[in-house]
Amino acid sequence: MAYLKQFLTKKTSVLSRSTKVTRLTVINQFFLPDYAPTGQLLEELANQLKGNFSGVEVFTTQPSYAFKQDDLPRWEYQKDIHIRRSKSASSGYGRIRSKTVSGVIFFLRTILHLLRYSSRRQLVLLTTAPPFLPLAGYLVSLLCNITYVCLLYDLYPEIAIELKVVKKDYWLTKLWNHLNHLTWKKSAAVIVLSSTMRAKVLKECPEIASRVFVIPSWADPTEIKPMPKQDN
C-alpha cells in the first residue's frame, strides 16, 4: 500500500503543476461494508491517502457482491472520506446476466457522475470492477478535461478468451481490445499487479511503456495471520 500511496501522491504532485489536481476520486463498483476484495483494498488506500489531498471521494454502489443491501445512505462521510453510492441495479443476485447488467448500469452512472463533477481539479482512479469501467474515463476525457489512472485488477477480454467465453477473432473481442488501447493511451498511468500483467499490456500496447507501473496488492500482517483451516 505504501508504494501505491507514494505513486499516486507523486503523480498528483506532477499533474498539479499543469492541471492543479487537488482531489482524488476513487471509482469501484464495490466498497465496504461489502466483502469484495477490491473494495476492501481501496478502503484502506483511501484512508491512507486522505491526508495527501484536499478531499478524497469514493463513487460506488449499494452492496451487491457478497450480500445485497439497498438501504445504506446515498452519500455519507466515513473517516473524512466522502462516499457516494448509486442505486444497486442487480436483479436475480448471483447470475452472470444480472451482474453484467448491473455493471453496465454502474458504468453509465459513472459517466454521468464524472460529467457532473468534471470541473473539479481531481485525479480519478478507475478500477476494472466492472471490467470495462476504465472506458468511462476515456469517454469523459473526450468531452472534459479530466485526468484518470487505470488500476487493472484483471485483463479483459483476455480472461474471457482463456475461459472460452468469447473467441479471439470475435468482433466484440477486437472492439474491446481497441477500446482498451484508446483508454490506456489517454490515461495518466496504468497500474498492474505483476510483471506478467505488465508484459501482456505492453504486448498489446507497447507505446505506453513509460506509463505502466507494477504495484502488487497488499495485506496487513497485523490483521491477516495464518491459522488452521478449521478455524478460518
Q: Quick: pLDDT tens for 29-59.
A: 999 888 888 888 999 888 888 888 888 999 9
Closest by CA position to 145, among listed 169, 117, 173, 180: 117
Cis check for the bond before 33: say yes or no (omega within 30 of 0): yes
37-49 and 2-19 helices, crossing angle to 10°: 60
Domain boundaries, given as residue ranges, for the chain: 2-219
* Single-letter amino acid code for the residue at 12: T
54-58, 81-85, 87-91: least confident range: 87-91
**pTM for the complete prediction?**
0.85
Domain 2-219, CATH: 3.40.50.2000
Q: Quick: pLDDT tens for 10-29.
A: 655 555 444 556 789 999 99
